[in-house]
Amino acid sequence: MALEVVAPMPGTIAEILVSVGDEVQADEELIILEAMKMENPVVAPKGGKVAEIKVAEKDKVDTNQVLIVLA
């Protein structure tokens, strides 16, 4: 079952730390989201495989926008 990882707040994607196909563990950093001049890590809520990355670096995102899909 797929799990969508969403943006906790509006901001800009500063860095994507994973690639499609990567195995990730719970609490592993996936993306660095720049918001309010701070870098905020977005972490995996549980372990899984990166099935899809729905954003690119420098993209502006909104709260609850899907960033990554884990399988």
What CATH number did the domain enclosing 15 receive? Answer: 2.40.50.100
pLDDT tens digits, one per residue of 10-24: 999 999 999 999 999
Residues spanned by the domain of 19: 3-70
Q: How many domains does the chain have?
A: 1
- Whole-angstrom distance, CA of residue 23 vs CA of residue 33: 21
pLDDT tens digits, one per residue of 2-12: 999 999 999 99
Q: Name the pLDDT band for 1 (thresholds 50, 70, 90).
A: confident
Q: What does R_g of the chain's alpha carbons equal in angstroms?
A: 11
